[in-house]
Amino acid sequence: MGQRSSAPSSSTPTSTYHVFTSFHGLDTRTAFTAHLWTALELRRIRVYRDDENLPRGEVIQTKLMKAIESSRIAVVVFSRNFATSEWWLDELVKIMECKSQLGQKVLPVFYNVIHPRCENKLEILRKDS
């Protein structure tokens, strides 16, 4: 898909990126996430973009964790298969640590899934109609 918008200049948790996107690639990479990246980058917002050809392993895992730490905002895209990826769940844990320890903002996006709080209300609406 693409390269990172910019490379981190240091290993300190300064805001190298405005936004880190966490998502399940098969569900959203070529649709929602690609459009989100384009829209943000057109507005000169620095986005950490993982390359779909990144090899799995310790080095990449370390780079991703540093990218999360060095982002002001994490956009977490919850999709149908997000919980099937241990990789994605590790990212989510790191994002939540950065939220509590560094004050990072987290924006959840529910893509083609229903938020659990809405489930009961939708069921009531279905019964009433």
The number of domains in the chain is 1
- Sign of the torsion formed by the C-alpha atoms of 11, 40, 102 and 82: negative
61 in a structural domain: yes
Q: Is residue 4 one of the residues assigned to a domain? A: no
Pairwise pLDDT comparison (113 vs 69), residue with the higher score: 69
Tell me, yes or no, whether 112 lies in a domain.
yes
Tell me how many degrees the CA angle 115-98-28 measures, rounded to the nearest 5: 45
Q: Could you tell me the two tokens for 21?
A: 């996107």
Structure confidence by residue, pLDDT tens digits, 51-84: 655 566 666 788 889 999 999 999 998 888 888 8
Q: Nearest 5 degrees, angle CA 18-CA 74-CA 91? A: 125
Tell me how far apart the alpha carbons of residues 62 and 24 are, in angstroms, rounded to a whole number.
18
Task: Say if residues 38 and 78 touch (Cβ distance below 8 Å).
Answer: no
Residue-number span of the structural domain to which 65 is assigned: 17-128
Residue 11 covered by a domain? no
In a domain, 5, yes or no: no
Rounded percentage of the chain residues whose pLDDT exceeds 90:
35
Helices (H) and strands (E) in the chain, counts: 5, 4
In this prediction, residue 23 carries a pLDDT of: 84
More confident residue, 87 or 36: 36
Classify residue 58: in a domain, yes or no. Answer: yes
Judged by phi (left if over 0) then psi (alpha if -120 to 50, else beta), residue 48 lies in beta
Q: Is residue 124 a part of any domain in this protein?
A: yes
Between residues 83 and 12, the one the model is more confident about: 83
> What is residue 22's predicted lDDT score, i.e. its pLDDT?
87
Q: What is the mean pLDDT of the chain?
A: 79
The per-residue b/e assignment along 55-67, b for 16 or more CB within 10 angstroms, e otherwise, is eeeeeeeebbbbb
Q: Give the CATH number of the domain where residue 101 resides.
A: 3.40.50.10140
Determine which one of 91, 97, 119, 123 is catalytic: 91
Active site residue 91: yes
Residue 12 makes CB contacts below 8 A (sequence gap 6+) with: 70
The answer to the question of residue 102 being in a domain is yes
